Amino acid sequence: MQYNISELARMIDHSLLHPTMTDKDLEEGVRVAIEYKTASVCIKPYAVKKCAEWLKGTDVLVCTVIGFPHGSHTTAMKVRETREACELGATEIDMVVNIGKVLSSDWSYVEDEIRLINTEAVKHGAILKVIFENDYLKDEHKIKLCQICSSIPVAFVKTSTGYGYTKGEDGKFSTKGATVEDCRLMLAHVAPGVQVKAAGGVRTLDELLRMKELGVTRIGATATAAILEEAKRRNGETTNAVVSKDVSGY
């Protein structure tokens, strides 16, 4: 089987969000995205302007996060974050829902917030991806969020931040991130035209292909180089030794 490397790369938002990533790490990560021609670079908010400069003249888009990672900022603050990000060069916005409000079933608050942020993004020519953080939610919450996002409508619904850690009985923290079950559920409950992004734990070619098979059209990944080099290897192509810095989280 031959893999279309360009098509696979265009599914990837190359994630540069880990808190320990330095300015040098970010610049190197942007170079990886340019080399592989990913859909976007999803970068920490403070680096949006610099990222836009690094990506100038390429087809790779600038993405950033809003209310990250827990979604608890005020709505007004999230709208201001969105406006500033767009003014600095972001064309894709990944915002985290207010998780506590979702769990409280305060759907009016949740819908109003998503609508306001979407309006702000669209006004600046950007698209919105709404992050659910599924590790914390029941299926009923995920379905309701799909319905809300479909009614607005937003461009994408997204499984996770990649940093939604829950504490187990042993006291250790872990995250599931993007699961096949959740992606299948979200795909079944969004309106036509609303796409699904899987983020958190998609680190291999086979995992990406499984998501693609389900109908997921975008993934968040730190392991971009490893994924695409494996596709090249299976195609019998010459591979590149470059491997991006893969950190825990995405």
Q: Which residues are tagged catalytic?
A: 94, 158, 197
- Taking the alpha carbons of 212, 216, 221, 225 in that order, is the dihedral positive or negative? positive
What lies within 8 Å, CB to CB, of 66 at 6+ separation is 45, 73, 78, 81, 82, 85, 93, 94, 95, 96, 117
Q: How far is CA 35 from CA 173, 186, 207, in A?
A: 34, 31, 22
Tokens of 214: 């389900």
For 228, what's the count of Cα atoms within 13 Å in the CB-facing half-sphere? 27
Q: What letter represents residue 217's amino acid?
A: T
